[in-house]
Chain A
Amino acid sequence: MLNPISVAFKKAKAEKRPALLTYTVAGDSSKKQSLDILKSISKNADILEVGVPHNTPVADGSQIQTSAYRAIEKGIKINDIFRIVRDFKKFDKNKPIILMGYYNMIFQYGDNSFLNKCKNSGVNGLIVVDLPWPENKNFAKKCKRKSIYFIQLLSPTTTSKRLKKIIQNSHPMNYFISMLSTTGGKLKVSPKEIIKNYNRIKKINPKKEIVIGFGITDKTIGKLKSADGLVVGSAICKEITRSLNSRQNPVTNVGKLVRKLKNKIK
């Protein structure tokens, strides 16, 4: 059976648009609410990235940190996250889910137990921010055995030689970090420049799906349409914070934002 992640890319291609990937933090601002948010955006998002909140995140900007700290404060545990994924899959079983987090949490759970849990609850892919290539070789192999995509990150600082090696060894989907930044930074390079870098990477092996993320908002998403997929994270986390601060319902607001994002890339 084809991984639902690949199915999602196919479907988006058939509609001549990039896949829309959203990032929200599990447990933000409560277990139930984060599940409701996933349900409310699943109509318009093609792939759902679910953040595993960590309290010493070395690559996240302030918006995602705020979401993560909020979730941890409310007591979210890894097993709750698996429960959220499982409950979501009961609601929409074909929608792909990618967990994104830091390696210590996986390491403490145990690689194998973690992957078994992923498999059983319906996780389709993993992004581990601080487990780069080649350190991730073994772990990526274990993912493959479970038919879970291990998604490699590529950055503007990744050398050509390294890009080739990473892509050669990669699973069907990779993630290109648009610029030198933590998540949520302002786009400090033009979309044109980003697409130029993206094309250079895409050429190495056109069969691999490459998504672009970091700094994408409803203002910029329309200019990056030629990519295989686009990830929006901090803008969504920010919307949750804004809603909470103004005593509005994050579930409906985030639902609206994701619909707007989808309309921009149609």
Chain B
Amino acid sequence: MKLKKRVPVIDQGNSLGFWGGKFGGNFVPETLKKPIEDLEVLFNKLKKDKKFINERDKYFKNWVGSPTRFIKLENLTNHIGGAQIWSKVVSDANGGAHKIYNATVHCLLAKRSGKKIICGDTGAGYAGKMLSMAAKKFGLKCKIFMGAKDIARQQPNVKAMKKNGAEVIPVYSGSQTLVDAVSECMRFWVANCDTTAMCVGSTVGPAVFVRICGWSTSQISRELKVQLIDEFGTIPKKLKLYNCVGGGSSSFGFWNEFMDYDKRQVEFIGVEAGGPKKSKKHAAPLTYGSKIGILHGAAQYVNQNSDGQIEETESISAGLDYPGISPLHCFLKDTKRARYTAASDEEALTAYKLVTKFEKLRPSLEPSHAFFVALKEAKKLSKNTVVVINSCGDAYKDRGILKERLGKKYVKSN
């Protein structure tokens, strides 16, 4: 299996949509073949269309707010005493997380295809919140599917969705988390694909959704590349990019523009959710060697039992609480371009405490996983190594969990 140079990774799949010949594809009911093909034709055309790109960039700049900040975490750097620690504060983006890029592009596509309704899934509630914002902006009706467990633990985002006029549909099946929300959303699309567009909230799902999402979040690394050159005059000799990985949209977007660099120069580190220390359950299929299986239309490494039933996951962060992983990351893992590891619930909380103690930054529980691994590794790295962590979400949505686990003092100033 080989990664090609100078070809966008999203376009490295074969004619059936498989990366590396085996990840991704379109394992979908017959009813969805046509709408997916229509979306593919539209996307392939528009992604080469200058006018469309300009339109996207205009919304990214003026509405999403680009670029998001790239800042040095001086206090943490001094405290850790190893590599330089930097953060790309993607939570600056309108709505507070990277999910806005994919949501915006999907709404632009939906408008072009003449659809009046858009449906989407959400775990942490960010994908849903952003889709509700974009839908409102572009005059589309919006339906969000969300697991009942996630509705309970991510209330601030649920409130935001409703305020934007979206209908939030609770999903009670299975583990009542993201995996069930995506299934229910796909089922809704099966029954309504004539009138409704679907937005999959991460780089997962049938191949075209993986591609659209990766194309959208790549805005993050486009900005970062410019910011690095502004700061250092060049891409640093030793650069390490840490990102949490749920479905994989923020990490893929954070890395995409650096794909062709040698990994000894620009290393990618993906941090999955290891779950509670004491639990066997986790949401880290790449780290813990899960087998290839099919989930939500795509072949990928996925937590499952020997019969092929998808296994329940457990994580403190709703956004990472997903048994599968993007085919793009399976491909990056097997081609050894990226390295994957996991942080536990407790470790994420430790990192959150440390970051908020030293810096004016409040990463949500998802990026806190990445911070844990980055800070641990930074200690052993030289001063000329540049560590960058994508702070892709803000902790406001996690205030309930943080209060319960760490006490009031950690949410007060929100």
Chain A interface (Cβ < 8 Å from any Cβ of B) = 54-61, 65, 69, 72, 77-78, 102-109, 129-135, 152-159, 162, 177, 180-182, 185
A-B contact count (CB 8 A): 114
Number of interface residues, chain B, beta carbon within 8 A: 36
- Given A55-B309, A155-B30, A157-B32, list of 6 further CB < 8 A pairs? A104-B304, A130-B28, A130-B29, A132-B28, A135-B26, A177-B30
B35 sits at the interface (CB 8 A): yes
Question: Judging by beta carbons under 8 Å apart, are A59 and B33 in contact?
Answer: no
B25-56: CB near A (< 8 Å → 1, else 0) gives: 11111111111000000000000000000000
Q: Once bound together, how far apart are the Cα atoms of A172 and B32, in whole Å?
A: 24
Residues in A whose Cβ lies below 8 Å from that of B27: 103-104, 130-131, 135
B293 sits at the interface (CB 8 A): yes
**Other-chain contact of A54, B26, B30, B192, B308 (Cβ < 8 Å):** B308
B19 to chain A, nearest CB (A): 15
Residues in A whose Cβ lies below 8 Å from that of B33: 132, 155, 157-158, 162
Residues in A whose Cβ lies below 8 Å from that of B308: 54, 104-109
Residue among A152, A155, A159, A185 with max Cβ neighbours from chain B (10 Å):
A155
Nearest CB to that of B294 among chain A residues? Answer: A104
Question: Judging by beta carbons under 8 Å apart, are A56 and B307 in contact?
Answer: no
Chain B residues numbered 201-228 whose CB sits less than 8 Å from any CB in chain A: none
B346-384: CB near A (< 8 Å → 1, else 0) gives: 000000000000000000000000000000000000000
Q: Once bound together, how far apart are the Cα atoms of A182 and B29, in whole Å?
A: 10
Question: Judging by beta carbons under 8 Å apart, are B29 and A153 in contact?
Answer: yes
Given contacts A107-B308, A108-B293, contact A157 B34 (CB under 8 A): yes
Q: Once bound together, how far apart are the Cα atoms of A233 and B291, in whole Å?
A: 32
Given contacts A102-B294, A135-B16, contact A108 B306 (CB under 8 A): yes
A62 to chain B, nearest CB (A): 8
Nearest CB to that of A181 among chain B residues? Answer: B191
Question: Judging by beta carbons under 8 Å apart, are A55 and B28 in contact?
Answer: no
Question: Judging by beta carbons under 8 Å apart, are A104 and B25 in contact?
Answer: no
Question: Judging by beta carbons under 8 Å apart, are A108 and B190 in contact?
Answer: no
Residues in B whose Cβ lies below 8 Å from that of A108: 291, 293, 304, 306-308
